[in-house]
A and B are shown apart, each in its own frame.
Chain A
C-alpha cells in the first residue's frame, strides 16, 4: 500500500473507487462460479438419471429375454451423447449383460449394480449413475452410466469469460464515474493546496482559501484560514521587528563607519603633522641657509662703506652704520643658531653605542680656553655607555657647561657633572655655583630665543638650552632645571639606558 502514499489525491480516489468495484465484482463472480461448480454436477446427475431411465426401459425386454445383442444395441444409442464415457446393462443379480464404452475409455463395473438401489456418485472427474430397471413393480435388472464433466468445464469457462468481460466493462464504467465523482473531494483539497503553495511562494499571508463545502474539507479550510490569520499577525510583528533590527544594524554600521572615519582622520592628521614638522625643519634649514647670502652682502658692503667712506662721514652717519652692522651681526647669529637648531632634527646621526666619558672629555678640550680664562673647576662622576648621537651629546654637554661658566658670579665656577641609573634611564645633572635662575623662568629658558638677561650682561641669542632640549627629546629623554637666584643651578636630563650598560 505504500505506493498509494505518494500519488495524487485524484488518482488515489480513482484507484480506491476502481479497486473497490473490482473487489466487489471479483467476489460476486467467484461466488457465482463456486455455486455453479457445486450445483451443476447435481443437475447433470439428474439429467443422466433421466437418460438412464429411458435407456433402461428400452433394455427391459432384452434383460427379460437375456438378449445381449438387443441390450448392446440399446446402449449404442448413447453414442449420440458424447460425454458418456461408459454404460452397462446389468442382470437382476448384478451381472453385466451388455456394455458400451466410449473409444479409449477403460471398462469398470459400478458397485451399485449388485445392490440394485438407485445411486449417484459425483467424483472429481466424472459422475456415476445407477438406476434399477422395472417391469411393472418387479425389478428385473439395472443400468449404469458414467459421464465426464466436460460440460461442466465448458459451462464454467463460458461463465468465466462472460464474467471477465463484465468485469472489464464495469471497471471502465467505475473509472469514468470515479473520475467525475472524485472531484467532489479532490477539488477543494487541490484548491487549498494551490493557495498554500501560492502563499509560501509569494509570502502574502493576506490571501484566504474559499470555503465551498460544509464537510470536513470545509472545516479544514476554516482551520487553514484561521492559521493564516495567526501567521499574518506574526509575520507582521516579525517584519516590524526585523525592520527595527535592520535600522539598529544600520545605525550601528553608521556609528562604526563614523568612528573609523574619525580614526582615519586622526591617523591622517598624525601623518600630516609629522610631514609638516619635517617640512618645517627643512624650511628652517633652507631659509636660514639662503637668508645668509643676502645678509652677507648687506654686512660686507656696510663694512666696505664704513671703511672706504668713514672719514668723509659725520658722527651720526657713522652711528647709523654702526647700528646697521650690529643688526646684521645679530641677524647672522640668529640665523646661524636657527640653522643649528634645525640641524638637531634634520641632520642627526643614527644612535650608536657611545661612551659618555670620552664625549665629555672631548667637550672639555673644546672649552679649554673658556675654562682657563674663568678658572672654572669641573669634576664628573664616571659616566655610562649609552645609545646616543655622539656629536649631539657633545653639543649638549658643551652648551650646559658653557652656560654654567657664562652665568657665573664673582667667584670662580665650580661645576660637577653627576650621573645615576634610575629604572630604564640614566639621570644626568650639571650643577654649578653661578647666579642661578628665578624658578618662575625655569620653563621659559628652554624656549628658542628666550633670554633672561640683557645682551650687555651676557651675550648670546638664547638658542643653547633650546638646542639642549631638542637633543634630549630626540634621544627620548627629558630636561629641566632646579635653581634659586644666587644659589646656583642644577640642570637635569635623562637619557634611556640600554640593556647591559
Chain B
C-alpha cells in the first residue's frame, strides 16, 4: 500500500447506476489512495447538494465533480449548465463520465466548460488507467486544468 502523503480529495459523484458508483470507488481504491466521495443519484439531488439545500445544508464543497449525463429527474447537461451559471460552483472542476459517445453530447459538455469528457470504459484495466490518471492529475498536479471561458 502506498504510504506517501497526499491531499485527500472531496469528490461528488453524480451517477444513478450503483454499479458504476461502486466501480469508481473500487478504481480509486485500486490507486491505493483514499478520497472522500459523496454520491448524488439524480440531477436534482446533485444540485441540492451543491447548493446545500434541504438536508444537504451541512454538505462540504466538493473539489471535483464526476458527472454522468443520463440521469433521472434532471439530466447531466442541465446540471452542468446550472453549475456553469453559478460563479462559485463554476470554480469546481467537472469531469463528465458517461456511456454516451454522441458528438452532440461531447460538444455540449465542452461548451458548458466541462474539464474532461470520458466515455465509460468497458475494460477493467482501461477503467483503472483512466481513474488512476484522473486521480493523479487532481491530487499531484499543482493546479487544475484552467476552466475554459470565464
Knowing A300-B23, A301-B19, A304-B26, the reply to whether A293 touches B124 (Cβ < 8 A) is: no
Roughly how many angstroms separate A185 CA and B57 CA in the complex, as a whole number? 124
Specify the chain A residue showing the minimal Cβ separation from B100: A289
Roughly how many angstroms separate A299 CA and B20 CA in the complex, as a whole number? 12
| Interfacial chain B residues near A295, Cβ < 8 Å | 122
Q: Are B23 and A293 in contact (CB under 8 A)?
A: no
| Interfacial chain A residues near B23, Cβ < 8 Å | 300-301, 304
| Interfacial chain A residues near B17, Cβ < 8 Å | 293, 297
Knowing A292-B99, A296-B99, the reply to whether A307 touches B19 (Cβ < 8 A) is: no
Q: Are A292 and B124 in contact (CB under 8 A)?
A: no
Q: Kindly supply a per-residue 1/0 record for chain B positions 58-70, scoring 1 wherever the CB is within 8 Å of any chain A CB and 0 otherwise.
A: 0000000000000
- Asked if B120 lies at the interface with its beta carbon under 8 angstroms from chain A, I say yes
- Asked if B127 lies at the interface with its beta carbon under 8 angstroms from chain A, I say yes
Roughly how many angstroms separate A292 CA and B26 CA in the complex, as a whole number? 21
Roughly how many angstroms separate A310 CA and B19 CA in the complex, as a whole number? 20
User: In the complex, which residues 115-142 of chain B have their Cβ closer than 8 Å to any Cβ of chain A?
Assistant: 120-125, 127
> Closest approach, in angstroms, between the C-beta of B5 and any C-beta of chain A?
27
Roughly how many angstroms separate A325 CA and B120 CA in the complex, as a whole number? 18
Q: Are A296 and B124 in contact (CB under 8 A)?
A: no
Roughly how many angstroms separate A2 CA and B140 CA in the complex, as a whole number? 132
| Interfacial chain B residues near A301, Cβ < 8 Å | 19, 23
Q: Count chain B CB atoms within 10 A of each CB in A296, A300, A303, A307 and give the residue with the most.
A: A300
User: In the complex, which residues 102-148 of chain A have their Cβ closer than 8 Å to any Cβ of chain B?
Assistant: none
> Closest approach, in angstroms, between the C-beta of B105 and any C-beta of chain A?
12
Roughly how many angstroms separate A301 CA and B124 CA in the complex, as a whole number? 8
Contact partner, B122, options A300, A304, A307, Cβ 8 Å: A300
Roughly how many angstroms separate A304 CA and B131 CA in the complex, as a whole number? 15
| Interfacial chain B residues near A303, Cβ < 8 Å | 123-125
Q: Count chain A CB atoms within 10 A of each CB in B17, B20, B120, B122 and give the residue with the most.
A: B122
Roughly how many angstroms separate A304 CA and B17 CA in the complex, as a whole number? 17
User: In the complex, which residues 255-309 of chain A have their Cβ closer than 8 Å to any Cβ of chain B?
Assistant: 292-293, 295-297, 299-301, 303-304, 307
Q: Are B124 and A304 in contact (CB under 8 A)?
A: yes
User: In the complex, which residues 7-38 of chain B have their Cβ closer than 8 Å to any Cβ of chain A?
Assistant: 17, 19-20, 23, 26
- Asked if A332 lies at the interface with its beta carbon under 8 angstroms from chain B, I say yes
Q: Count chain A CB atoms within 10 A of each CB in B17, B19, B124, B125 and give the residue with the most.
A: B124
| Interfacial chain A residues near B99, Cβ < 8 Å | 292-293, 296
Q: Are A307 and B124 in contact (CB under 8 A)?
A: yes
Roughly how many angstroms separate A23 CA and B20 CA in the complex, as a whole number? 134
Specify the chain A residue showing the minimal Cβ separation from B126: A300
Roughly how many angstroms separate A304 CA and B99 CA in the complex, as a whole number? 19
| Interfacial chain A residues near B127, Cβ < 8 Å | 300
| Interfacial chain A residues near B124, Cβ < 8 Å | 300, 303-304, 307
Specify the chain A residue showing the minimal Cβ separation from B20: A297
Q: Count chain B CB atoms within 10 A of each CB in A292, A293, A295 and give the residue with the most.
A: A293
| Interfacial chain B residues near A297, Cβ < 8 Å | 17, 19-20
Specify the chain A residue showing the minimal Cβ separation from B122: A296
| Interfacial chain A residues near B20, Cβ < 8 Å | 297
> Closest approach, in angstroms, between the C-beta of A234 and any C-beta of chain B?
82
| Interfacial chain B residues near A307, Cβ < 8 Å | 124
> Closest approach, in angstroms, between the C-beta of B71 and any C-beta of chain A?
14
> Closest approach, in angstroms, between the C-beta of A79 and any C-beta of chain B?
152
Roughly how many angstroms separate A299 CA and B125 CA in the complex, as a whole number? 12
> Closest approach, in angstroms, between the C-beta of A368 and any C-beta of chain B?
24
| Interfacial chain B residues near A293, Cβ < 8 Å | 17, 99
> Closest approach, in angstroms, between the C-beta of A333 and any C-beta of chain B?
11
> Closest approach, in angstroms, between the C-beta of B120 and any C-beta of chain A?
6
Roughly how many angstroms separate A296 CA and B125 CA in the complex, as a whole number? 13
| Interfacial chain A residues near B19, Cβ < 8 Å | 297, 301
> Closest approach, in angstroms, between the C-beta of B76 and any C-beta of chain A?
15
> Closest approach, in angstroms, between the C-beta of B28 and any C-beta of chain A?
13
Q: Count chain B CB atoms within 10 A of each CB in A293, A296, A297, A307 and give the residue with the most.
A: A296
Roughly how many angstroms separate A248 CA and B109 CA in the complex, as a whole number? 72
Specify the chain B residue showing the minimal Cβ separation from A294: B19
> Closest approach, in angstroms, between the C-beta of A303 and any C-beta of chain B?
4
Specify the chain A residue showing the minimal Cβ separation from B26: A304
> Closest approach, in angstroms, between the C-beta of A296 and any C-beta of chain B?
4
Q: Kindly supply a per-residue 1/0 record for chain B positions 68-104, scoring 1 wherever the CB is within 8 Å of any chain A CB and 0 otherwise.
A: 0000000000000000000000000000000100000
> Closest approach, in angstroms, between the C-beta of A382 and any C-beta of chain B?
34
Roughly how many angstroms separate A303 CA and B120 CA in the complex, as a whole number? 15
Roughly how many angstroms separate A480 CA and B135 CA in the complex, as a whole number? 53
Specify the chain B residue showing the minimal Cβ separation from A305: B124
Q: Are A296 and B26 in contact (CB under 8 A)?
A: no
| Interfacial chain B residues near A300, Cβ < 8 Å | 23, 121-124, 127
| Interfacial chain B residues near A292, Cβ < 8 Å | 99, 122
Specify the chain A residue showing the minimal Cβ separation from B23: A300
> Closest approach, in angstroms, between the C-beta of A390 and any C-beta of chain B?
17
User: In the complex, which residues 303-327 of chain A have their Cβ closer than 8 Å to any Cβ of chain B?
Assistant: 303-304, 307
Specify the chain B residue showing the minimal Cβ separation from A299: B122
Roughly how many angstroms separate A293 CA and B122 CA in the complex, as a whole number? 9
Roughly how many angstroms separate A332 CA and B123 CA in the complex, as a whole number? 11
Roughly how many angstroms separate A463 CA and B17 CA in the complex, as a whole number? 32
| Interfacial chain A residues near B125, Cβ < 8 Å | 303
Q: List 22 A-B contacts (CB under 8 A).
A: A292-B99, A292-B122, A293-B17, A293-B99, A295-B122, A296-B99, A297-B19, A299-B122, A299-B123, A300-B23, A300-B122, A300-B123, A300-B124, A300-B127, A301-B19, A303-B123, A303-B124, A303-B125, A304-B26, A304-B124, A307-B124, A332-B122
| The 5 nearest A-B residue pairs measured at CB | A303-B124, A296-B122, A297-B19, A299-B122, A300-B124
Known: A296-B99, A297-B20, A299-B123. 13 other contacts (CB 8 A): A293-B17, A296-B122, A299-B122, A300-B123, A300-B124, A300-B127, A301-B23, A303-B124, A303-B125, A304-B23, A304-B26, A304-B124, A332-B122
